[in-house]
Amino acid sequence: MAPPKRQIVAIGGGGFSVPGDDGVLDDYILSLTRKGGKRGRRPRICFLPTASGDSRDYIVEFYEAFSGGARGGRAEASHLPLFGMPRPHKEIREFLLSQDVIYVGGGNTANMLAVWRVHGVDRVLREAWRRGIVLTGVSAGMLCWFEGGVTDSFGRPLSAIHDGLGLIKGSACPHYDGEKDRRPTYHRLLRRELAAGVAVDDWAAIHYIGTKIQSCIGSRPNARCYRVGVRVPGGVVREEEMKTRYLK
């Protein structure tokens, strides 16, 4: 048998919790699952709302997007809380490895990574990736898969974070067009401390198979993805727009 595909879909911003979301990116993610639509079983998708402190409203929006409401019924939705009374590590591992998709929500990236490491979720996510479970997320849920990037975890001004999971080498910047200080801050940090990487607009995403970019997709006509790095010598930031397919 061929080894399972290791897939990550890194979403720059937008998503099911933002007004105006049409669910197109979510449909794309669900289409990647090994069992999605096969043998009559809906794909299983688990929400990790750790970065928002397990926000109740965020969790409700997730269930409405995937298992209820106008677009619901697309998946067997569940979530994993890590605040309050979390599950034992063995139970967390078994639960996450039973999913087809693991979706990481937005919020405070630094806090999320710290909580994950306390409960061993970081190790389980690596195992899930190797097993072919689709990993995805928006904002903090995009940034976490890389080695580092631009974060608002410590408030404004934006700063660098260096302790991502590192499944994908290099750095990342979500909300590239959605917040006016994201682009200039990323360029400044690239010159000083961050490795070259990618930047993703709101409503756009990069689909990785293994550690290679398979495609760039967007649910808005002008949503874009970029490779960004520093040209040496000279220290000039180089920004290369990648072809982004509009999912109509």
Q: Please, are residues 24 and 152 in contact by the beta-carbon 8 Å criterion?
A: no
The answer to whether the CB of 225 falls within 8 A of the CB of 200 is: yes
Tokens of 37: 């639509």
| Number of other CB atoms surrounding residue 243 within 10 Å | 8
From 17, 52, 139, 153, the catalytic residue: 139
Catalytic residue among 17, 52, 55, 175: 175
**Among this protein's residues, is 139 annotated catalytic?**
yes
Active site amino acids: 139, 175
